[in-house]
Amino acid sequence: MTHQNLLDIAQEYGSPVYVYDADKIESQYKRLTDAFKGVDHLRVNYAVKALSNLAVLQFIHGLGAGLDTVSIQEVRLGIAAGIDPSRIMFTPNGVSLGELEAVAKMGVQINIDNLSILEQFGTRHPKTPVCVRINPHVMAGGNTNISVGHIDSKFGISIHQIPHLLRIVENTGMHINGIHMHTGSDILDIDVFLHAAEILFDTAKNFKNLDFLDFGSGFKVPYKEGDIETNIEELGSKLTTRFKTFEKSYGKSLTLVFEPGKFLVSEAGKFLVNVNVIKQTTSTVFAQVDSGFNHLIRPMFYGSRHEITNISNPEGRERFYSVVGYICETDTFATNRRIAEIAEGDILAFSNAGAYCFSMASNYNSRYRPAEVLFIDGEAQLIRERETFDDLLKHQIPLKKTVKA
């Protein structure tokens, strides 16, 4: 997508607006599958939580991917997008037995990450194939909020509880058909990932009738020019060799599963905002835009960095700006960032806005959530309308009588 493409989209659909580049999603998918082309059976399950728009799910499924879901609502979105339940994995955390049973009835592969629910489900449904999520006690990932494989994490069954897990399986006679792990997001050290993989292989030896091993994902993508990222090609080469060796010792062909979200869609996304006000104080020049952390919470929540480009004046002289939103509390996207000179009415483009951006948006301050556009085959296609005031009122029930003081 060019700057002119983005300006045209902002002109047609207004701002703020999310825009996703289908070509970039496809190239990332191909990069991942090419890195593991030596694996006989590879399955990519896209992490729906990263970006759950139906059109995006349809597009990624069309590339060959299944889905990884974390709620029954995400499962239903996948089915609504036309995806067969057999291509969907349900990987929740802390959900009720009832939700797991409801999803299993749909024909979806379920993944259980605690012993209590595992025993209850196995007792009631011993013939339903179940994947189990282990916690390898490996610290990986960037921000502590997205590191999920360490010893204090709420996710997964501890590797130290494997004897208890095996006893539950034996007592219930249930069928374990997969082992899963996920260490965290923004993983840089391939050796750490491979160390966790060895723990997964060791765990898998305890189960004699597995169909797949799910290695999660968490691959880091670059957030600025020259930024480091996961070397997916090196990981593919090393893990493929180790996986094929394990298959031979296991005595059965297995499917290698990944569940990428950010890796597939992060770099494909742009978030376009309009500059409402240039406000100069004694120490700072603020560019105040028509959005806030209600639309893009990552900088405030995770401290994440998103490159910001003034696409209305990309060749302008660079100055330092703090880019802030219109929410009535501290609402900062960037502090003292060097950006081409900004004027009121300019359009700014935030990069890496494809993953965990719109999907984490809210109506805080009673603001509307923005439109979404997919740029595909050289054309902009609206895939979600901007909300209206009617959307804010929907599902609210006013009092029948006015309360008098």
Q: Which residues does the annotation mark as catalytic?
A: 328
Cβ proximity of 263 and 219 under 8 Å: yes
Amino acid 5 reads: N
End-to-end distance of the chain based on CA atoms, in angstroms?
Answer: 57
CA distances from 18 to 11, 14, 119, 208, 342 (A): 13, 10, 43, 47, 20
- Other CB atoms within 10 A of residue 33 CB: 17
- Separation of alpha carbons 87 and 89, rounded Å: 7
Q: Count CB-CB contacts under 10 A for residue 290.
A: 18
Closest CA to 351 of 276, 266, 286, 274: 266
Rounded Cα distance between 65 and 71, Å, is 18
Distances (CA, A) of 372 to 14, 70, 353, 369: 11, 22, 11, 10
Q: For the packed helices 115-124 and 97-105, what is the interaxial angle rounded to 10 degrees?
A: 50
Q: What is the rounded distance in angstroms from the CA atom of residue 103 to the CA atom of residue 109?
A: 8
Q: Pull the structure tokens for residue 297.
A: 């919470």
Q: Report which DSSP code applies to 311.
A: T
Q: Find, among 346, 266, 258, 342, the residue nearest to 302 by Cα.
A: 266
- Which tokens sit at 184? 């965290």
Helix (H, G, I), strand (E, B) or coil at 267: coil
What is the distance between the alpha carbons of residues 169 and 178, in angstroms, rounded to a whole number? 13
Reading the block at residue 148, the tokens are 């999920």
